[in-house]
Homo-oligomer: A and B are copies of this chain.
Amino acid sequence: MNNPIKIIVVGGNAAGPAAAAKGKRVNPSADVKMFEAGEYISTGTCEIPYVLSGDIKNYEDILYFSPESFKEKKGVDVYTKHFVEEINTQSKYIIVKDLLDGITRQFQYDKLILATGSKPKVIESISEAKNVFTLTSVKDLIEINNFITTNKVKSAAIIGSGYIGLEVMDSLQKLGIDVTVIEKEKLPLPYAEMEIQHLILELLNQNDIRFCGEVADFKPVFSDGNVRSLNINGRIFEPDLILVSIGFTPNNLLSLKAKLATGKSGGITVDMKLKTSNPHIFAAGDCIEVMNALTNKPSYIPLATLAHEYGHAAGENAAGGNVRILPVVKNIAVKILDKFFVSVGLSSKEAAEYSFKFNSVSKITNNLVPVMPGSEKVFGKIIYENESGRILGSSFLGGKEVSGYGDIISALIRTKQKVSALSDINYNYTPPLSPFINLLSLLGRKVK
Contacts and interface: CB of A to CB of B under 8 A. Distances in A.
A428 interface: yes
A433 B304 contact: no
Contacts of A304: 429, 436
Interface stretch (A44-52, A111-119, A232-240): A44-52
A61 interface: yes
Nearest to A430: B333
A52 to B, nearest CB: 12
A50 B432 contact: yes
A430 B56 contact: no
Nearest to A334: B430
B404 A426 contact: no
Given A411-B408, A426-B329, A426-B410, A431 B372 contact: no
B430 A55 contact: no
Contact of A421 (B46, B414, B437): B414
Interface string A70-82: 0000000000000
Interface residues of A, number: 60
Contact of A305 (B50, B436, B440): B436
Nearest to A412: B411
Contact of A403 (B412, B421, B434): B434
A332 interface: yes
Given A411-B411, A426-B331, A431-B50, A371 B405 contact: no
Given A304-B429, A404-B401, A427-B407, A371 B47 contact: yes
B425 A332 contact: no
Interface string A259-286: 0000000000000000000000000000
Interface in A357-414: 369, 371-373, 400-408, 410-412, 414
A328 interface: yes
Contact of A426 (B50, B55, B305): B305
Interface in A307-363: 308, 326, 328-335, 340, 342, 344
Contacts of A417: 415
Contacts of A410: 425-428
Contacts of A425: 329, 407, 410-411, 414
Contacts of A408: 404, 407-408, 411
Nearest to A427: B407
A202 interface: no
B308 A433 contact: no
A203 interface: no
Contact of A371 (B56, B303, B330): B56
5 smallest beta-carbon distances between A and B, as pairs: A404-B404, A333-B428, A333-B430, A331-B428, A329-B426
Given A44-B371, A56-B372, A333-B428, 14 more contacts: A44-B369, A50-B431, A55-B431, A56-B371, A304-B436, A305-B437, A329-B426, A333-B433, A335-B432, A342-B428, A407-B434, A411-B425, A414-B421, A414-B424
